[in-house]
A and B are shown apart, each in its own frame.
Chain A
Amino acid sequence: DGGITQSPKYLFRKEGQNVTLSCEQNLNHDAMYWYRQDPGQGLRLIYYSQIVNDFQKGDIAEGYSVSREKKESFPLTVTSAQKNPTAFYLCASSPHGTQSGEQFFGPGTRLTVL
């Protein structure tokens, strides 16, 4: 069953702690993306990767870090430097070489900082 999985679904962390959100895809897509969704603000791009071992900052990368060691995986670390980390985080992927820009989304992880 092809798709994108994100874990965990809900995550709680204490202030000052780093936390890593998982994103895995078995769609054989080259490109992967991380978004943050806040009420009334839509989705904002945090980081994206168009190929393994390469990634670029999106519009709101401060306080976040990523890695892309494998094609299937694109974990996001929310660091203690992120001033307002409580949000819903969405991972997406898209096939490389397409002109469409169409992306496929995972179910999301809701992060709450206590």
Chain B
Amino acid sequence: AQSVSQHNHHVILSEAASLELGCNYSYGGTVNLFWYVQYPGQHLQLLLKYFSGDPLVKGIKGFEAEFIKSKFSFNLRKPSVQWSDTAEYFCAVSGRAGTTDSWGKLQFGAGTQVVVTP
């Protein structure tokens, strides 16, 4: 069965610090990978996604993520966080179309609550 593991449940850091959130998945087929973010009081929204090609993907608000196939990982990074990055971050995995019946179904990790202090 497909599963997604996020390494940290809570992260607290100061403004200007670097952020890295770990995500590992367990899945036998070809996957698409996502990071979603949920700011306080707002919709869950897409931060970035990986389908194929360059394993280093850039998203909105200065975030980037690196897909390492050999490690089944898709870690999220930001070199310098701001107070406005306080949010909950979710890693998600979807099976690739034509490879499995899990196509279009997202499997989410448990989420990481990030708090950035001024």
Question: Would you give the 0/1 interface string for A41-53, flagging 1 where the beta carbon is closer than 8 Å to chain B?
Answer: 1111100101000
Considering only residues 96-115 of chain B, those with a C-beta below 8 Å from chain A are 96-98, 103-106, 108-111
Contact status B90-A42, CB under 8 Å: yes
Of the residues A41, A48, A99, contact of B105 by C-beta under 8 Å? A48
For residue B34, CB closer than 8 A to chain A, the reply is yes
Docked-complex contact B106 and A101, CB < 8 angstroms: yes
Taking CB atoms, residues of chain B closer than 8 Å to A58 are 105
Q: Scoring A residues 32 to 66 as 1 if CB is less than 8 Å from chain B, else 0, what string do you get?
A: 01010000111111001010000000100000000
Mostly, the B contact residues are strand
- Partner among A43, A99, A105 whose Cβ is within 8 Å of the Cβ of B45: A105
B101 to A, closest residue via Cβ = A56
Measured in the bound complex, the distance between the Cα atoms of B97 and A106 in whole Å is 24
Which residues of A are found within 8 Å of B96, using beta-carbon distances?
99
Q: How far is the CA of A42 from the CA of B43 in the complex (A)?
A: 14
Q: Which of B42, B94, B97, B108 contacts A42 (CB 8 A)?
A: B108
Given A43-B90, A90-B44: A100 in contact with B109 (beta carbons within 8 A): no
User: Taking beta carbons and an 8 Å cutoff, which residues of A are in contact with B?
Assistant: 31, 33, 35, 40-45, 48, 50, 58, 90, 94, 98-108
Interface residues of B (CB under 8 A from A): 4, 6, 9, 32, 34, 36, 42-46, 49, 51, 90, 94-98, 103-106, 108-111
Apart from A33-B106, A42-B6, what 20 extra A-B contacts exist at CB < 8 Å?
A33-B105, A35-B108, A42-B110, A42-B111, A43-B106, A45-B105, A45-B106, A48-B105, A99-B51, A99-B96, A99-B97, A99-B103, A100-B51, A101-B34, A101-B103, A101-B104, A101-B105, A102-B46, A103-B106, A105-B45
